[in-house]
């Protein structure tokens, strides 16, 4: 594929911070980015060539995106796999990852079943379509257990711990209500419940899958397989089920990191289509790795790769989707990141104070997402801190967390 101007155009369903960082990474490669997002002047808009304003699952919007693009991708699971599949077939604009992968992942029960079948270690889980089923499942799995809406949850939304038998009815009602927006329809296929994993720490691996390569001895194509790689394992720190900080290298044993990488590669075996995948994992008390969740796109746990690795997760996604070889995923130096989350209760214009401390900290890097409004726990930006080879990740973490804790949004 020769380089031209305008270059190949990447159409991205979703124009949030992931679309923005994709556009930042695409520009040096000569890849034009057009995003679609229902919010006019979405975060990605100022750095993308253009934005199509429309819902993620609006047919006309996605068709316009496909007509303008050489490749389609998505930065949000709210994209509609059926629509993407149909429009890709009609317009001839390929979608990566495969919409079928999105379909598998967007339903957490289908995702877990598929992975369990493939031999990926997952927490014990049950489908629960009634409160009675939830109660029976919790008796088996033990209290507390984690009740999850099958569709639509992210950043902890749609996840609800069930602490005791007394909580079953209310928890189930709440999940049904959230999943159905208050409709009184039959709640079949709405929820699943998982054993609550007593984890030592949470890890994440960004996996990446490129175009299909043909093995040397495979004139018949039998050992053809996509190019695959992983980024260095990341330790993730959540509070209120929202990612707060990341560290790489992790504080886990090397054997644990190696096991995390193996599980991630097993997960990629199940995924169809080019792109990067955020693979969230638990390290249990006895050093076992269990899969938590997968996102078929760049992921918050990989933002540190922008400064921390030779190739960022965003460049890697652009390379993979546009059919270029994958880049070097090696870590350049110990690197940590801290999310800047909205505080306060009201939804209001975003005005961040205290950002001077970011600029005054050597090797700290601000990534501001360009969102006009802030509300509690909204992801507004992140700060990455790059260390030197001898720096302990825990020390870097305390520095970046303290810089981040100096920030506040004007009420």
Min. distance of Cβ 36 from a copy of itself in angstroms? 17
* Residue nearer to a copy of itself on the CB measure, 104 or 246: 246
Min. distance of Cβ 31 from a copy of itself in angstroms? 9
Min. distance of Cβ 315 from a copy of itself in angstroms? 9
* Residue nearer to a copy of itself on the CB measure, 274 or 365: 365
Beta-carbon-side half-sphere exposure of residue 295 (alpha carbons within 13 Å): 24
Alpha carbons 146 and 205: distance in angstroms, whole number:
22
Min. distance of Cβ 2 from a copy of itself in angstroms? 5
Min. distance of Cβ 249 from a copy of itself in angstroms? 17
Please work out, in degrees rounded to the nearest 5, the angle formed at the alpha carbon of residue 391 by the alpha carbons of 385 and 394.
70
* Residue nearer to a copy of itself on the CB measure, 172 or 304: 304
* Residue nearer to a copy of itself on the CB measure, 178 or 366: 366
Q: What is the CA radius of gyration of the chain?
A: 21
Q: At 23, list the tokens.
A: 């556009």
Tokens 């401390």 correspond to: 357
CA 169, chain centre distance (Å) = 31
Q: At 203, list the tokens.
A: 């890890």
Alpha carbons 312 and 231: distance in angstroms, whole number:
9
Q: How far apart are the first and last CA of the chain?
A: 51
* Residue nearer to a copy of itself on the CB measure, 17 or 101: 17
The answer to whether 287 and 256 have CB atoms below 8 angstroms apart is: yes
Min. distance of Cβ 163 from a copy of itself in angstroms? 39
The residues that bridge with 234 in the sheet, in sequence order, are 204
Min. distance of Cβ 50 from a copy of itself in angstroms? 9
The residues that bridge with 53 in the sheet, in sequence order, are 37
Tokens 């390929």 correspond to: 94
Is the peptide bond between 97 and the residue preceding it cis, with omega within 30 degrees of 0?
Answer: yes
CB atoms within 10 A of CB 48: 24
* Residue nearer to a copy of itself on the CB measure, 127 or 333: 333
The answer to whether 147 and 175 have CB atoms below 8 angstroms apart is: yes
**Residues at the contact surface with a copy of itself, assessed by CB under 8 A:** 1-7, 20, 23-24, 27-30, 32, 46-49, 310, 319, 324-325, 327-328, 332-333, 349-353, 355-356, 359-360, 362-363, 365-368, 370-372, 381, 386, 410
Min. distance of Cβ 318 from a copy of itself in angstroms? 11
* Residue nearer to a copy of itself on the CB measure, 287 or 325: 325
Element (H, E) at 401: helix 393-405
* Residue nearer to a copy of itself on the CB measure, 352 or 377: 352
Min. distance of Cβ 403 from a copy of itself in angstroms? 13
* Residue nearer to a copy of itself on the CB measure, 366 or 401: 366
Phi, psi of 142 (to 5 degrees): 90, 155
The answer to whether 231 and 307 have CB atoms below 8 angstroms apart is: no
The answer to whether 34 and 48 have CB atoms below 8 angstroms apart is: yes
Min. distance of Cβ 355 from a copy of itself in angstroms? 5
Q: What is the DSSP letter of 331?
A: B
Alpha carbons 143 and 123: distance in angstroms, whole number:
14
* Residue nearer to a copy of itself on the CB measure, 274 or 324: 324
């Amino acid at each position: 594929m020769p380089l031209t101007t305008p270059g190949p155009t990447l159409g991205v369903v979703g124009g949030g911070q992931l679309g923005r960082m994709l556009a930042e990474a695409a520009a040096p490669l000569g890849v034009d980015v057009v995003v679609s997002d229902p919010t006019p002047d979405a975060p990605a808009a100022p750095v993308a060539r253009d934005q199509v304003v429309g819902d993620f699952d609006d047919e006309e919007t996605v068709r316009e995106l496909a007509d303008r693009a050489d490749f389609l991708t998505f930065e949000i699971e709210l994209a509609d796999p059926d629509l993407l599949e149909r429009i890709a077939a009609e317009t001839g604009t390929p979608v990566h990852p495969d919409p079928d992968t999105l379909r598998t992942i967007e339903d957490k029960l289908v995702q877990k079943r598929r992975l369990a079948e493939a031999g990926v270690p997952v927490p014990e889980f049950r489908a629960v379509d009634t409160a009675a089923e939830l109660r029976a499942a919790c008796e088996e799995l033990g209290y507390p257990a984690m009740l999850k809406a099958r569709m639509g949850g992210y950043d902890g939304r749609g996840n609800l711990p069930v602490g005791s038998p007394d909580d079953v009815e209310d928890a189930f009602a709440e999940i049904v209500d959230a999943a159905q927006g208050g409709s009184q329809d039959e709640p079949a296929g709405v929820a699943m419940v998982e054993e609550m994993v007593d984890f030592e720490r949470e890890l994440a691996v960004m996996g990446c899958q490129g175009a299909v390569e043909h093995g040397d001895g495979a004139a018949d194509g039998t050992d053809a397989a996509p190019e695959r790689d992983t980024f260095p394992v990341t330790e993730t720190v959540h509070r209120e089920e929202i990612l707060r900080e990341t560290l790489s290298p992790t504080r886990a044993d090397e054997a644990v990191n190696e096991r995390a990488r193996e599980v991630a590669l097993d997960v990629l075996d199940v995924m169809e289509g080019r792109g990067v995948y955020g693979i969230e994992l638990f390290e249990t008390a006895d050093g076992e790795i269990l899969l938590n969740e997968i996102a078929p796109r760049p992921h918050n746990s990989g933002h540190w790769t922008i400064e921390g690795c030779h190739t960022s997760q965003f460049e890697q996604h652009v390379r993979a989707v546009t059919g270029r070889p994958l880049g070097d995923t090696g870590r350049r130096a110990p690197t940590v990141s801290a999310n800047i989350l909205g505080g306060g209760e009201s939804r209001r214009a975003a005005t961040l104070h205290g950002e001077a401390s970011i600029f005054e900290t050597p090797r700290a890097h601000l990534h501001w997402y360009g969102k006009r409004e802030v509300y509690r726990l909204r992801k507004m930006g992140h700060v990455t801190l790059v260390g030197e080879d001898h720096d302990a990740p825990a020390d870097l973490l305390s520095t970046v967390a303290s810089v981040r804790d100096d920030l506040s949004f004007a009420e």
